[in-house]
């Protein structure tokens, strides 16, 4: 399988796509074609464990990797998760299910991919004959950073630096990152928002003089964000797994179409579902859930992507994003894989803060996608209603998705298509906001919030979050977004 850039000019192996992360012209790598899952393979996957299913999907894209090694890597990665199933499906109501993706070592869905990515990267370097030290850069709106740090800590031949918006993540997310152990990690708060962090990382990747400077220190860049296809590919697997679980538990018939509602900011999570559909998974519609930063909702409705607006800080901070990087991959597909047009639109976004698609393209997107959003009170109400009606507790991002799903059902009362709502984080990562939603009580201290949320819900508190209170804070540095490369260089020089 070869990979091409959304902006043209490159065709590389899967290993090279993972190691490089981003194409030289700033484009994102996409598969040259979408691999199909045959009926026979689907039936075989029904009996597989989650690691086996994940390895099967990954082998479709990374066919130059040894299949036995892929399976071993997946088994090792998902052995770090709580329970026997890394991605359990919970029946919430008639025809409505929750896909829980927060049972990994950092209690967020990013673990589903970032526990596997270190293997893909290290093996990719070996296959490409790369001997330089790899510097992994990651911009985070809250969850990617910790999951990447945990996945790459103390990895041989790798360093990782994470940038987060200093005032744009929850207290628990910040503590998770700033107490991170490992001899090869660095964490820096950025004076700005996530879009500032993300654009700075992209600038570092695309700046030739920066690359030359790093080369002097025998260092090569790679990415842990979902701009890296090695981050995106493992996420495709859990959509297949959810569907397979519905079939094997007799909730649906094989071949029956289902919907997914996905809370998303950077568009990677829901794009993985779209890729699963392109591989043959019977997906009818994908409902894209946003918070008050509803740039995606507006795009689906109008065909205009316009980031010239205020960025709101919300109780679902991982979705406080205006520039959704992975949307570029969808644009590439709906334009008929027109790399010149995709590059033009990305240039317009950078220079003018907006771009638009044709009405024909917008209709093509609308055949699969629709968008909705939840305001702060909408999210609270959705979380409260579900807790009162079913006893189920969800985090704030999943609350946004629930609001969008409820809106869909209210508008389409006769729709009997099964709906899977993707849950992206453990409620205890946002204890104060979840506590307020389900009880109306407000506390200022996160750990007091955990204690009271446990009393109200009886949900088990993850060990990794309980231990944060007593872990020493290692990283306190903040930096201007324009000076991040200087921080990167200092980190590289510090052997």
CATH of the domain at 395: 3.40.50.1100
Q: What is the pLDDT of residue 86?
A: 98
User: Would you call 371 helix, strand, or coil by DSSP?
Assistant: strand
In a domain, 453, yes or no: yes
Phi, psi of 3 (to 5 degrees): -125, 140
**Residues in the chain where the model's pLDDT stays below 50:** none
- Inter-residue contact 28 to 344 (CB < 8 Å): no
Dihedral-angle region of residue 303 (phi above 0 means left; psi in -120 to 50 means alpha; beta otherwise): left
| Burial class of residue 376, CB neighbours in 10 A (0-12, 13-18, 19+) | middle
User: For position 410, what pLDDT does the model report?
Assistant: 96
* pLDDT confidence of residue 495: 63
CA atoms within 13 A on the CB side of 302: 12
In a domain? residue 147: no
Residue recorded with tokens 């697997």: 237
Instruction: Determine the pLDDT at residue 170.
Output: 93
pTM of the model: 0.96
Torsions phi, psi for 304 (to 5 deg): -115, 125
The answer as to whether 35 is a domain residue is no
Q: Is 112 exposed, middle or buried (0-12, 13-18, 19+ CB in 10 A)?
A: buried
Q: Report the Cα 33 to chain-centroid distance in Å.
A: 22
| Residue 406 counted as domain residue | yes
CA-nearest of 295, 272, 314 to 422 is 272
Residue 330 in any domain: the answer is yes
| Total domains, the chain | 1
Tokens, residue 278: 């392109």
pLDDT at 494: 83
Measured distance CA(30)–CA(2) in Å, rounded: 9
Instruction: Tell me which residue range forms the domain holding 268.
Output: 89-104+230-460
For residue 225, give both structure tokens.
């964000």
Let me know if residue 210 belongs to a domain: no
Inside any domain, residue 24: no
Beta bridge partners of 186: 161
């Amino acid at each position: 399988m070869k990979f091409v850039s959304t902006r043209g000019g490159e065709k590389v192996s899967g290993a090279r796509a993972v190691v490089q992360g981003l194409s030289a012209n700033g484009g994102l790598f996409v598969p040259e074609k979408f691999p199909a899952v045959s009926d026979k393979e689907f039936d075989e996957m029904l009996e597989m464990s989650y690691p086996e299913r994940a390895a099967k999907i990954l082998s479709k894209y990374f066919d130059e990797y040894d299949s036995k090694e892929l399976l071993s890597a997946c088994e090792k990665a998902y052995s770090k998760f709580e329970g026997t199933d890394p991605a359990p499906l919970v029946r919430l109501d008639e025809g409505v299910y929750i896909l829980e993706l927060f049972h990994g070592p950092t209690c967020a869905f990013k673990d589903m991919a970032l526990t596997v990515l270190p293997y893909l990267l290290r093996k990719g370097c070996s296959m490409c004959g790369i001997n330089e030290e790899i510097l992994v850069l990651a911009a985070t709106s809250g969850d990617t950073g910790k999951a990447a740090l945990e996945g790459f800590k103390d990895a041989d031949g790798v360093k990782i630096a994470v940038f987060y918006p200093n005032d744009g993540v929850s207290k628990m997310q910040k503590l998770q990152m700033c107490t991170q152990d490992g001899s090869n990690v660095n964490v820096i708060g950025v004076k700005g928002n996530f879009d500032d962090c993300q654009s700075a990382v992209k600038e570092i990747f695309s700046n030739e003089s920066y690359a030359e400077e790093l080369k002097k220190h025998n260092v090569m860049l790679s990415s842990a964000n979902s701009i890296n296809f090695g981050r995106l590919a493992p996420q495709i697997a859990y959509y297949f797994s959810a569907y397979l679980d519905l079939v094997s538990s007799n909730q649906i018939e094989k071949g029956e179409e289902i919907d997914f509602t996905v809370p998303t900011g950077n568009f990677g999570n829901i794009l993985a579902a779209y890729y699963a559909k392109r591989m043959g998974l019977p997906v009818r519609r994908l409902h894209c859930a946003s918070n008050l930063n509803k740039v995606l909702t507006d795009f689906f409705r109008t065909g205009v992507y316009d980031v010239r607006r205020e960025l709101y800080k919300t109780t679902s901070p991982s979705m406080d994003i205006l520039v959704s990087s992975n949307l570029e991959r969808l644009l590439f597909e709906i334009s008929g894989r027109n790399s010149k047009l995709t590059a033009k639109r990305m240039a317009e976004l950078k220079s003018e803060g907006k771009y638009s698609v044709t009405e024909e393209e917008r209709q093509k997107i609308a055949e699969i996608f629709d968008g909705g959003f939840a305001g702060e009170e909408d999210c609270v109400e959705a979380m409260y209603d579900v807790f009162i009606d079913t006893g189920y507790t969800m985090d704030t991002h999943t609350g946004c998705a629930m609001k969008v799903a409820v809106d869909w059902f209210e508008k389409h009362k006769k729709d009997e298509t099964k709906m899977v709502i993707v849950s992206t984080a453990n409620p205890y990562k946002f204890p104060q906001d979840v506590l307020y939603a389900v009880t109306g009580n407000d506390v200022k201290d996160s750990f007091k919030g955990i204690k009271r949320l446990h009393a109200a819900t009886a949900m088990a508190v993850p060990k990794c979050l309980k231990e944060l209170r007593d872990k020493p804070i290692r990283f306190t540095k903040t930096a201007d977004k324009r000076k991040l490369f200087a921080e990167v260089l200092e980190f590289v020089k510090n052997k």
